[in-house]
Amino acid sequence: MLNCSFLHIPSIGQKTERKIWENEIRTNEEFIKSPTNSIPPRTREKIINHINTSRSNMEDPHQYYDNLPSSEQWRIFKRFQKNTAYIDIETTGLDTYRDKITTIALYDGENIKHYVNGINLDEFKKDICDYNVIVTYNGKTFDVPFIESFFNIEISHCHLDLRYILKSLGYSGGLKSCEKQLGIGRGDDLDGVDGFMAVLIWNHYRRRKDKKALETLLAYNIEDVLNLEYLMITAYNKKIQGLPLELGGLEIPPKKDNPFEVDESIVNMYLPFSY
């Protein structure tokens, strides 16, 4: 997708990009080789110079992300998919100053990692540096500001927030609502678990040192990040289908097995309090 993009070039808007595509110029290379008489010479020279600059920094997603309109930053996903981390946090509440992070789940398409307050939470600060793109749901409003405040760090990654990407495609509501709208579920054992119950389960774990409670919380947390991959790929494929280009979509890989199991007795204990 990025090889067909021109929007990241300063002063190039959607009309100019569409005009380029309408002239049967589909890629950056085709633009350089084509005379493109419909574009003023100075504009053409500016585009070519920026294409060459982008080529020299192809491994840096910020080269594109920082210059694309926020509504089009999803375009970076395919090229940098292998350097993407899907992340989600659970907390004791919504206040970034008073509340704490309880667990964090991280998934990179291959490996599932989890971090627990009081055990290995600080390892997240190092591990997240292995990636240059993150995918969340509502992370720009909640997860990332909470992480930055809690750890006193800056998350400078290119950030694809599915809340906004999916909304632009007509899917709104919370993460679980979008999952259902796009045909994926969580199974009966996690169907009734929500963010408030996650707080109750954490408190249960802390009071009773109940390993099954922690594993139930981690199963819930990890399920979020596993589903983020499906949603991100689905959203990307839908986005490129809306463009006047012939681009191949991304294949959705088989879903990884969640390494933790839900203890139904713990879920049932707190189910009446989660609505």
The predicted pLDDT at position 274 comes to 63
Q: How far is the C-alpha of 135 from the C-alpha of 155, rounded, in Å?
A: 12
- What is the four-CA torsion angle of 99, 218, 81, 248, rounded to 10 degrees? -120
Spatial contact of 119 and 214, defined as CB atoms under 8 Å apart: no
CA dihedral 118, 119, 124, 126 (to 10 degrees): 110
User: Residues 6 or more apart from 37 whose CB is under 8 A from it?
Assistant: none
Backbone torsions φ then ψ of 190, nearest 5 degrees: -110, 0
The domain locations on the chain are 2-58, 81-273
Give the up-direction half-sphere exposure of residue 261: CA atoms within 13 A in the CB hemisphere.
4
- Say what the pTM is: 0.95
Q: Please state which architecture CATH assigns to domain 81-273.
A: 2-Layer Sandwich (3.30)
CA distance 169 to 124: 32
Dump pLDDT digits (tens) for 40-93: 888 888 889 989 988 888 889 999 999 999 999 999 999 999 999 999 999 999
Q: Is the per-residue pLDDT at 235 higher than 80?
A: yes
* pLDDT tens per residue across span 88-139: 999 999 999 899 999 999 999 999 999 999 999 999 999 999 999 999 999 9
Q: What is the mean pLDDT of the chain?
A: 93
